[in-house]
Structure formats: C-alpha cells, structure tokens
Chain A
Amino acid sequence: MASKAKSRWADDEADAALDAQLKKEKEEKKRLRAEKARKLEAERQAREAAAAAASSAADAQQHERDGTDRGSPAKRRKLSPERETVPPTDSAPKLLRFEGGTFGRSRSVENYDKLNDIEEGAYGWVSRAKEMATGNVVALKRLKRDPKDLGGMPVTALREIQILKDCDHRNVVKLKEVVVGDDTTKIDSIFLVLEFLEHDLKSILEDMPEPFLASEVKTLLQQLASGVSYLHEHWILHRDLKTSNILLNNRGRLKIADFGMARYVGDPPPALTQLVVTLWYRAPELLLGATRYDSAIDMWSVGCIFGELLTGKPLLTGNNEVGQIAATFELCGVPTDESWPGFRRLPNARRMSLPPSTSTKNTTGALIRAKFPLLTSAGAALLAGLLSLDPVQRPTAREMLDHEYFRQDPKPKQEALFPTFPSKAGQEQRRRRETPNAPVRGQRAADLGAVDFSGIFSGREKEERGGGFTLRMV
C-alpha cells in the first residue's frame, strides 16, 4: 500500500517537475513580454505625466488619480523633470495614493470680468463676475482690509479660506481660488472666487407673497441639515448660520456660505469667544455668556431658520441681548434646573431674576405648537427639539436627518421641481439687510448685569387656555 502510494507519488513528482519546468519557461516568456509592455506603458505614462504637468495642476492630479484607479504600477514621484522613469520591478501591491495637489502663486483678479455688484456685507463686498478664459460665472468676494489694522491679515479671513478649501460637499459653497489685485508688490486687495448662486434665502423669503409649502420647507431643511452635519463631522463650527448666509440656486440646491465666523474645534471644545452668531440666531447659552460651547449652537440657528422658513419672518427678533433673551424665554419657556441643568452657572445667568417656575410648566412644546398650527406633530417635535434651551438636548445634525418629520407625507420636494424665483443677484443690487450683522471680533461681550425677566410672563395668568391655541384676555 505504502510502496504503491510512494511510487505513484514519485511518478507525480517527476511529472510535476517536468510540468513546472515547462510552465516556468512559458512564464519566463510571458514575463519578458509583460515587462516589455510595462516599459512601453511606463514610457507612455511618463510622456503623459510631463504633458499633464505642463497643463494645469488640477489636470495632473486627475491624471494621477485615474492612474491609481486603473491599478497601474504606482511609482515614486519624479523629483526632476528630466529624470528617466524606472519601471517598477516587483509586482506592485495596491497602495493608496494620497493626493494633496500642489502649491503656487495666486492668480490675478484680472482673469475675471466684473459684471455687477451683489451686496455689501460686514466683511467685504460681493460681486458677480465672469472668468474670461472659461466664461464661468462666479461670485467674487473682496476682503476688506483695514490699512490701520496692526494685526495684518484678518484671522477670520484666513480661517474662512482654510475651511472652505478643505470642504467638499454639495450643500457647502465651493471656493475655487483666491486671487489678488494686479499690484503684487503690496497685497492689499484679495478676492475669494466662490461658486455663484442666484439667490439667498433671506431675499426670497422677503419677496414671497406666501411662505414655502411644507414639502419645500422639508427639502430646504434637509439640505441645510446635510450641509451642517458635514461641517460638524469635520470639526467645523459655522457660528453664523442665518437665512442671508444660505444660498439657493435656480435648481433648488441649497448651499451654506459665509464662513467668516467659522473655525475648527476639537473635543473637548477649546475656550471660544461668545461673540458669535447674529443676535437673532444666537443660542441661549451664548446669550448667557458661555465660553465652552459646541455644535449645538449651530443647531439652535437651524431651529431659528426652520421657524423662519415656515412663517417667512425671523423667529426671534430681539433689539439687544436682553431683548433676545426675553424673546427666547417667551417662546421656549423659562429655564429651570430640570429643563436645563446647570444653566445657573453661566456668567450672565447668575444675577438674573426669573419668574417662578410654577407659572411656566411644560411650555416649549405647547408654545411652539400654538405658534405653528399647520405644522405636523413630528415637525413641531423637531422644532421644539432644536429650540431646546439645554444644548445637550438638541439633536445633532445627523440625528435631525433621521427624524420622522422627513419621512412623513408630504415628502420633501425634489430639488429639480423647486420653484424658481426672479434673481436679485443676477441683475441688480440686493437690498440692504434689515437683520443685524454678526458680531465683530474684538468687541466686548455684553455683560448683562442684573436683569429682571420676572415680568415677561406677567400677563399670562390672565390668558384663557384652549385646545392648541391661547386667547389673550384684554
């Protein structure tokens, strides 16, 4: 048995050896052929790479990326243009290539042809322009530079550029490049070249005779939440979300713009300035002077925008910090130790007198439902969640996207079916804003001192409560 097996094994071995030799010869030939082909391929690639390097950097990057996608042998970057490329000798494993692009000088603004001004904001003016080489219409945002400013380039502008360059999302406005004025001996005029969108949400809301339909509000809100969730997942706080900073094109695509207040944060969050977010969209913890805050402040602004989309009017419009707090408490109720644990420890809350908590039981949800009678209960729940006084209780942008509200009928309207609006930005100058501007860096934060809010609900005891609405007795 054993000897039989052994003899068969020996036969096999001999056969196998013969086979292997034949195979080896075959393979050797094949390898030589492959080698030759690879050499040709490498040469072709080298030629292509040289051509690509001559053309724009973006093209070169694209080429390289394509190269890896095809699974062609990756090679080390060439360090001199003349060097001959050496074909890789071993079978190249699949390695990820990281492409970071290249660096070089800014181009001149003379590559763009100015068409018309769009608006003048707190941080500079924006105009519509056409890139002469391609005919693409873009928005040029000129950075204001104060020659008396002793700090040099404003850090807000640098952050805005850095953040926009890192962002790539369908609901975040794209920064194409940064260009400078013609006189490059002193760099005093700097322009951000941004993609152009026809409208901003603020002017649409102002000009609409009727507010948006429920399905349209959902589309807008979904896109907004998707953009905000992208930012938060990349450790970016926008810190100035408001309807005038949200752009809309004629195909129903919403994009978040104006990152003049934005910054990268870490976890745990660093100490940050409380002087952020335009007053009407400012979260209660900021109004009460918190210097440690997180992405929940953006979610509060999203809640304010939600309310504004429903009615067409800004939701909370205080004249100053105190007025804003009063308006906030009036809509969302007065904070208690149960509804917002620890709020008393915030700097501006210590000396604040509030009405006794008994008179303000279970307010937030009920008040919001009363204010937006046409909103479904899921919608009201989402809005009440976004406008939670306690930042911990607000949903994150990701949680918001999964909310029941977006699954209920009416479904979000398809972007392509979105109504179009006469463009303000396309032709004439946009109206000057009546909304307050975002706070300016370096301002002193408002010290509210001892403020008495106990009177804001003084008339409420006289109100008759009914099913879902309230009557004020005069």
Chain B
Amino acid sequence: MAHMTNPLATPDQLFQRRSLGALPIELQDTIFFATQCLTQAAGLLLELPQTVTAQANVLLARYWLVEPMMAHEFSDVSAATIYLTSKLSATPRPPRDICNVYAYLLSPSSSLFHNPSAPPPPNTPAAYYLSESAYAAARARLLALEARVLYALAFDTHVALPHPLAVTYLQALDFLGAGREKIAGRAVGYLNAALLSPQMLYLTSQPNALAVAAVYNAARDVGAKMPECEWWEVFDVEREELGFLVVGMRSVEGWGKTVREDLRGMGVEKGMLRRRNVEARLGGGDAEEEATRRMDEKMAELEAGA
C-alpha cells in the first residue's frame, strides 16, 4: 500500500503558515510558486524524468511546512530537493551538474520568469560561469541543505505520485471514448499544474483523489462523456473532496498568470525570486534585520516546540 499513499500535512502544520510572525500568506504563495517553477525548469535542464522532478516538488512543499521559508535561499532549497530525489532515482545527477544548472537559472541570461512577449534575454555565458570557489561554496550549501531537508522530514523521502494512477483509471474507464493521448495528456497536465498550487494539494489529498480529479477535469475539457453514476466512488473518492480538488486544479492556471506578473513587479525580471526581493517587498531599510530577528524567534519557538 505504501506505493499508493503519501504522508499528509497535519492541520496544525497548515495552520502554522498563517500564524503570527510568518510572512504574509500571498507572499508565501508567490515564493512557493516561483520556487516550484524553478525546480521544474531545473528538472528539464538536468534531463530528469518528470517523476523525479515532481517528487522534488512534493518534498519541497513538505519541507516548508516544517521549516520557515526565509531560513535559506529559496533556490538552494530547490536544488537540495532535486539533488535528493535524483540521487534516489535511477537517474542520479552529480552536484556539479546541479550547481551549474542553478547558476544558469539564477543568472540574467535565464528566461525562466522572462516576459514571453519581450525579446529573449541576451545570452552572456560569463554571467553563469561557476568558478571553482563558487562551485565549492554552492556544493557546501547543497549538501548542508540536503541533510537539513532529510532531518526536517525525518528521513522519509517517500512520495507516491498520482500520475500512473490517473492513467490506470483512464484505462479502466476506457478513456471515456475520447482520444487517448488527448485526454491522458490533459489529465497529466492537471496533475503537474497541481504541483504549483498554493493549496498544496499533494499534501492534503492522497494520490487516488488527485488522479480522479485530474481525470474529471480532463474529461470536461475534451468534452468526453463521463458515466452518469457517481463513478468517483469506485476509486474511493468522495464527491466533496472531488469538488474541492477539481476547483483547486482548475484555478492554478489563472492564478499562476497573475503571480508571474506579480513576480515581474517585484524586480524578478531577471533570474529568480531571492530572499532580498522578499525583504525589499516587506519594506523598510532594515528589512533584513527584521527578517533575521523574526526568523530567529521562529526557530527558537519551533525548536522549543519540537
């Protein structure tokens, strides 16, 4: 059964995001979205299968429900999770590859959050050249954070993805009479988009529910005819949960567009959202001290509570 279930977030963990001292929730969501997009981009450049990258997305989401967001640079956490999941997969990637890819994605040459209507940024290799000393520092951060992520998750790196289930369910439904590639591609697309959702759907629902919601959405999109009965119950999903997930998944696209614009507004025209952007957004000259102080308090509180 382990292959079909995930550990889920507790209500307290989810609630803590809104607690005193945490960043404003919209800002947290923006950081979450930007970092998950960064992980996906890195997965592509590292030529990792989507299963590996998606697992890194899920581990990152779990990690941020245990540890405060501002404790480490966002891109470093992203690199550590993708390093960790690739290491456990059949396609491990050495630290050198990871560091190179992130150096590129964080450089002004990267088109990650670039406005698609604007001309692409000029490619200046010098901007993402990683010197030996810079590499040593990046690797040290990577390995330290890898250990930190493992500690925060009690070394439980298990992630069950809903993608294969969605395909199996579609087969069981005979693809609802629609084109196989069309409907399956659409369902997998919804599952991948759900990785970016600020509602952390992968941490609140089990894979079978996510798979059914994706199938439902895909069927609606391609106009396939679904069974008249409550077919989701066959896959052990309740109507209420299905409804929640269907809406959650459909909202990601539009929400993502506004966040991308928001990111450009925060001066993330080039490269990736950094902690300093967030501190600047929080305002004040001594934003950094303020954030550090808040972080220390939070850490102390968490340590005491642990």
A interface list, Cβ under 8 A from B: 53, 57, 74, 76-82, 88, 92-93, 95-107, 150-153, 155, 158-159, 161-162, 165-166, 177-178, 180, 184, 186-188, 190, 270
The contact of A180 among B12, B90, B151, by CB within 8 Å, is: B151
A100:B7 contact, CB within 8 angstroms: yes
> Residue B154 at the A interface, CB < 8 A?
yes
The 10 closest A-B pairs by CB, nearest first: A100-B5, A187-B147, A152-B143, A178-B155, A96-B236, A166-B2, A103-B7, A95-B236, A98-B206, A98-B5
A95:B154 contact, CB within 8 angstroms: no
Instruction: Write the chain B residue with the least CB distance to A272.
Output: B90
A100:B206 contact, CB within 8 angstroms: yes
Instruction: Write the chain A residue with the least CB distance to B6.
Output: A100
The contact of B14 among A79, A106, A178, A190, by CB within 8 Å, is: A79
B9:A53 contact, CB within 8 angstroms: no
In the bound complex, residues from chain A placing their C-beta under 8 Å from that of B14 are: 79-80
B230-271 interface code vs A (CB 8 A; 1 in, 0 out): 100100111011001000000000000000000000000000
A162:B151 contact, CB within 8 angstroms: no
In the bound complex, residues from chain A placing their C-beta under 8 Å from that of B65 are: 103
A106:B237 contact, CB within 8 angstroms: no
Write the nearest CB–CB distance from A58 to chain B, whole angstroms.
Answer: 12
In the assembled complex, 23 residue pairs joining A and B whose CB atoms fall closer than 8 Å, in A order, are A53-B10, A77-B11, A79-B11, A81-B15, A98-B208, A98-B236, A100-B7, A101-B8, A102-B9, A102-B10, A102-B13, A105-B153, A106-B150, A106-B155, A150-B139, A152-B95, A159-B88, A165-B2, A178-B154, A180-B151, A186-B147, A190-B155, A270-B90
Query: With contacts A106-B154, A153-B87 known, what are 19 further pairs, Cβ within 8 A?
Result: A80-B11, A81-B12, A82-B15, A93-B230, A95-B238, A97-B236, A100-B8, A101-B8, A103-B9, A103-B156, A152-B87, A152-B146, A153-B143, A153-B146, A155-B92, A158-B157, A161-B155, A177-B154, A178-B154
In the bound complex, residues from chain A placing their C-beta under 8 Å from that of B158 are: 162, 165-166
In the bound complex, residues from chain A placing their C-beta under 8 Å from that of B295 are: none
> Residue B62 at the A interface, CB < 8 A?
yes
A165:B139 contact, CB within 8 angstroms: no
Q: Please measure, in the bound complex, the distance between the C-alpha atom of A106 and the C-alpha atom of B152, giving whole angstroms.
A: 6
Write the nearest CB–CB distance from B155 to chain A, whole angstroms.
Answer: 4
In the bound complex, residues from chain A placing their C-beta under 8 Å from that of B208 are: 98
Instruction: Write the chain A residue with the least CB distance to B232.
Output: A95
Q: Please measure, in the bound complex, the distance between the C-alpha atom of A177 and the C-alpha atom of B240, giving whole angstroms.
A: 35
B148:A155 contact, CB within 8 angstroms: no
Q: A103-B62, A103-B66, A153-B146 are in contact. Are A77 and B15 (CB under 8 A)?
A: no
Interface centre among B2, B150, B158, B240 (most CB of A within 10 A): B150
> Residue B172 at the A interface, CB < 8 A?
no
Q: A77-B204, A78-B11, A81-B11 are in contact. Are A104 and B237 (CB under 8 A)?
A: no
B interface list, Cβ under 8 A from A: 1-2, 4-15, 62, 65-66, 83-84, 87-88, 90, 92, 94-95, 139, 142-144, 146-148, 150-158, 160, 204-208, 230, 233, 236-238, 240-241, 244, 303, 306
In the bound complex, residues from chain B placing their C-beta under 8 Å from that of A80 are: 11, 14-15
B150:A187 contact, CB within 8 angstroms: yes
In the bound complex, residues from chain A placing their C-beta under 8 Å from that of B92 are: 155
Write the nearest CB–CB distance from A343 to chain B, whole angstroms.
Answer: 27
In the bound complex, residues from chain B placing their C-beta under 8 Å from that of A151 are: 87, 94-95
A98:B1 contact, CB within 8 angstroms: yes
In the bound complex, residues from chain A placing their C-beta under 8 Å from that of B204 are: 77, 79
Instruction: Write the chain A residue with the least CB distance to B154.
Output: A106
In the bound complex, residues from chain A placing their C-beta under 8 Å from that of B11 are: 53, 77-81
Write the nearest CB–CB distance from A208 to chain B, whole angstroms.
Answer: 37
A-B CB pair tally, cutoff 8 Å = 135
In the bound complex, residues from chain B placing their C-beta under 8 Å from that of A188 are: 147
Write the nearest CB–CB distance from B249 to chain A, whole angstroms.
Answer: 16
In the bound complex, residues from chain A placing their C-beta under 8 Å from that of B90 are: 270
Interface centre among A78, A98, A159, A190 (most CB of B within 10 A): A98
Write the nearest CB–CB distance from A305 to chain B, whole angstroms.
Answer: 27
Q: Please measure, in the bound complex, the distance between the C-alpha atom of A184 and the C-alpha atom of B71, giving whole angstroms.
A: 14
In the bound complex, residues from chain B placing their C-beta under 8 Å from that of A78 are: 11
Instruction: Write the chain A residue with the least CB distance to B244.
Output: A76
Q: Please measure, in the bound complex, the distance between the C-alpha atom of A316 and the C-alpha atom of B92, giving whole angstroms.
A: 35
Q: A79-B14, A95-B237, A152-B147 are in contact. Are A102 and B7 (CB under 8 A)?
A: yes
In the bound complex, residues from chain B placing their C-beta under 8 Å from that of A101 are: 7-8
Q: Please measure, in the bound complex, the distance between the C-alpha atom of A101 and the C-alpha atom of B158, giving whole angstroms.
A: 11
B10:A57 contact, CB within 8 angstroms: yes
Instruction: Write the chain B residue with the least CB distance to A154.
Output: B87
In the bound complex, residues from chain A placing their C-beta under 8 Å from that of B1 are: 98
Interface centre among A88, A93, A153 (most CB of B within 10 A): A153
Instruction: Write the chain B residue with the least CB distance to A96.
Output: B236
In the bound complex, residues from chain B placing their C-beta under 8 Å from that of A92 are: 238
Write the nearest CB–CB distance from B54 to chain A, whole angstroms.
Answer: 16
Q: A77-B8, A100-B206, A158-B157 are in contact. Are A187 and B236 (CB under 8 A)?
A: no
Q: Please measure, in the bound complex, the distance between the C-alpha atom of A100 and the C-alpha atom of B156, giving whole angstroms.
A: 11
Q: Please measure, in the bound complex, the distance between the C-alpha atom of A109 and the C-alpha atom of B92, giving whole angstroms.
A: 30
B95:A150 contact, CB within 8 angstroms: yes
Q: Please measure, in the bound complex, the distance between the C-alpha atom of A162 and the C-alpha atom of B14, giving whole angstroms.
A: 25
In the bound complex, residues from chain B placing their C-beta under 8 Å from that of A107 are: 154
In the bound complex, residues from chain A placing their C-beta under 8 Å from that of B83 are: 152
Q: Please measure, in the bound complex, the distance between the C-alpha atom of A186 and the C-alpha atom of B158, giving whole angstroms.
A: 23
A103:B144 contact, CB within 8 angstroms: no
Q: Please measure, in the bound complex, the distance between the C-alpha atom of A390 and the C-alpha atom of B217, giving whole angstroms.
A: 51
Write the nearest CB–CB distance from B224 to chain A, whole angstroms.
Answer: 24
Q: Please measure, in the bound complex, the distance between the C-alpha atom of A93 and the C-alpha atom of B152, giving whole angstroms.
A: 37
Q: A74-B238, A81-B12, A100-B6 are in contact. Are A153 and B147 (CB under 8 A)?
A: yes
In the bound complex, residues from chain B placing their C-beta under 8 Å from that of A153 are: 84, 87, 143, 146-147, 150
In the bound complex, residues from chain B placing their C-beta under 8 Å from that of A166 are: 2, 158
Interface centre among A53, A82, A102, A161 (most CB of B within 10 A): A102
Instruction: Write the chain A residue with the least CB distance to B245.
Output: A76
In the bound complex, residues from chain B placing their C-beta under 8 Å from that of A99 are: 5
A103:B154 contact, CB within 8 angstroms: yes
Write the nearest CB–CB distance from B293 to chain A, whole angstroms.
Answer: 18
B8:A105 contact, CB within 8 angstroms: no
In the bound complex, residues from chain B placing their C-beta under 8 Å from that of A96 are: 236
Write the nearest CB–CB distance from B212 to chain A, whole angstroms.
Answer: 11
Write the nearest CB–CB distance from B291 to chain A, whole angstroms.
Answer: 19
A102:B155 contact, CB within 8 angstroms: no
In the bound complex, residues from chain A placing their C-beta under 8 Å from that of B88 are: 155, 158-159, 162
Write the nearest CB–CB distance from A396 to chain B, whole angstroms.
Answer: 21
Q: Please measure, in the bound complex, the distance between the C-alpha atom of A103 and the C-alpha atom of B155, giving whole angstroms.
A: 9
Q: Please measure, in the bound complex, the distance between the C-alpha atom of A373 and the C-alpha atom of B87, giving whole angstroms.
A: 49
The contact of A104 among B6, B87, B154, by CB within 8 Å, is: B154
Instruction: Write the chain B residue with the least CB distance to A83.
Output: B11
Q: Please measure, in the bound complex, the distance between the C-alpha atom of A78 and the C-alpha atom of B15, giving whole angstroms.
A: 11
Q: Please measure, in the bound complex, the distance between the C-alpha atom of A150 and the C-alpha atom of B7, giving whole angstroms.
A: 30
Instruction: Write the chain B residue with the least CB distance to A168.
Output: B2
In the bound complex, residues from chain A placing their C-beta under 8 Å from that of B157 are: 158, 161-162
Q: Please measure, in the bound complex, the distance between the C-alpha atom of A104 and the C-alpha atom of B152, giving whole angstroms.
A: 6
